[in-house]
Structure formats: C-alpha cells, structure tokens
Structure 1
C-alpha cells in the first residue's frame, strides 16, 4: 500500500500481472510473448541497487524488517543489527557520505518482495510473486472492514498521488513521475472533476483557501465507521 501511495507504481510493477506486459516488451524486444512471463515484471530484490543509500527506503518502514525476515543481508542477521551499526558511527550523516555498503545475498536477488501466502518463507519461494488480482481483492476487503462502502482501489492511491504531483510540479515532471506517454492521459483519466481553484479568492485577489476543496475532493469514498 505504501509503495502505491508514495510512488507512481502500477499494479504490474509491484505484483504479478500481465497489465504491464506490452510496455515490458518494448524494453526487452528480444523476448517473445511466451517468454515474457508476468512474474518477471514484479518487484524483486534486484530492483534495489547497492549504490543507492539503504536508508533512502526509510519512508517504507516495512522494508528493513521485511528484508531481514528474508535473510536478504549478507553481513547482518537482523534489521536491529543494521540500526545498531549506524548508531555506532555516532556522527551526523552528510549528503553523499557513504558510511558502509550493505550487501544483499546473491541468492535473494530474484526473489519477489511480495509472495503468495504459501510461500512467505523465503526458503519456500518458487520465484512467483503475489498476484495483482489477489492483492486487489485483499485491498478491497480491507477497505470494507475499515468502513468504506465501496471498493478502495490501488487506482485511488495512484490518482491522489498524481493529483498532488500535478499541483506542485511541472507537467514535464508529472509525466516523468507517472511514466506517461501521452500528455492527455492525466486530464482524461486522473484529474479530479472538482477544480482546485477557489473562485472567491481568485476574483478578490486574496489568499486562496484550499482545505475545503481538498476535503471535498476526498469525499468520493463514503465511510461509515
């Protein structure tokens, strides 16, 4: 859920899905449709590059214990050991100041991050990722248990994230973030029908209020606690 909220990821880039197969073919033109399986596009440990600061992933609080439970670290037995090692340096981290490179086990690189319930133990992994359709149903079920009367979807998370990007960044930045091909994709499929321009403030030339607009934009999902 955090991946979908805090990044531009689509379901086929995180879970096993055929939804992104067409774009994947463009990047790997040598592979035929038969060879290009849905599971090869799911998020695996190999997507993490060791020259990228590991603590960049702190926004995803699940990542360190998740990787630790999978025995992904070559030189550390747990997430606590990594945190203790970082604390032992006893210095304030500086930008681009690498204190230590934390390596992954070579055997873990092709293991999916999110696996079927029967393969949660890394030793039982067959290389399959949890299916996007399964996660979609689990996500909707979670929404119902939380009191939402309609299905909460991954598209809802992505849509809100892209609306925030549209408000704070240029159109070019938004297209790169969302991996858009067409400049019209956002306005046709993601932009909220309720404008964020406050007519009163615009006419009088005063500071705009947008709390009520943001609140109204979020009222599409009815909640009954």
Structure 2
C-alpha cells in the first residue's frame, strides 16, 4: 500500500456493536500514527466500578457518586489501549458477561454520560490527532471532527463476527446484540449516522478493504 496521507485531525468512527469499529480504529490509528480512543471501554470501566461497589443498578444517584469517586484512566496508544479503575488494569474484566449485561444501565445515567463525555473531549483536545470510536462520537462527543464515518453491517454478520470473537453461541450472541442495540437506543442512536458522516457498509468487506476505503476518504479530505 502507498504511504498514508499525513493526518493530524480527529476521526470519529461510530456504529453498532459488531460493525468492526475496534479493529478498524486501532489499525487506522496505527497506520496514521495517531492516538486511538475506545469510548466503549470508558463506559465499561465505569460500570465495573459500580459493580465493585455493590450498589443497585437502578439507583442512579448512588451510581453517579461511585463514578465520580472512581479514578478512571485510559491509554490511547493504538496497541495499548488500557483501562484502569483505581489503578487496576481491567482490560479483561470489562469484557466479561457481568459488565456487558450492566453497561447499558450505567451508561444510561445522564450525569454519568456527561462525566465521561467531558473526559473524552479532554483526551481528544490533548491529542495531536486521534481516532475515536463509539456510538455518538460524530454527533455528540466530537461534532466538529475532521472526518466522520459510520460503520454498519448486516445484523446476521455482526452476530457472526461477535460470536467468533467470543467463542459464543451464534443465536445467543444475536439476541444479546439486539438487547444491547435496544438499550443503547435509549441514550444514543446506534443505527443512525451523524450529520455529515460517510456511511460504510462492512458486511462484505474485510479489514484491509475497509482500511483502504478510509485512507481514500482521508486523501480526499486533503484535496478539499
């Protein structure tokens, strides 16, 4: 592949679970020499702090207090996007079923979202170029991003990818994705592209093809 176009802006990558955001964001950031932020990990880390505290998932006020009192830190090096909760590396734990089942409840607390969005904006502002992935980046977190991309894929393909990654049953994975999409839709718009975003359907594309398409978009941005 030819040398990537130099880029030091903000790239927002949104899309539902299983659309390829994480793999694409990490690879693109690596090739462009940018930072990389996984906002989903931030919500998962906050959720783990809440679960560790033992508070109920319906107690929004106490959930907020726990998140406010937790020390959350996140790495933005593409190949080392660590998550720390009170100094503990929780990269594995936040991907477990308990956190997955609870994250929508915690992220659905508006004040918690406000705290994490503020953190996300601060990280973006301090980075000299960054790829940010999530569900509301292009519309809420970084509406002025230099490039907005919405990755999507057929629901069956999304479920297949996730089940392969987790080694889980396909039908159970599909049901879980539907549950998460419905829960996320209460606070974000996982099936809607942000205004000005380029929609890229990855159903029949492999990672190399998606990355090539994104490099072409960035190169086009440079000629505008």
Q: Verify same fold: TM over 0.5.
A: no
How high is the TM-score relative to the length of structure 1?
Answer: 0.30
Q: Which has the higher strand share?
A: 2
Greater relative contact order (Cα < 8 A, sep 6+) = 2
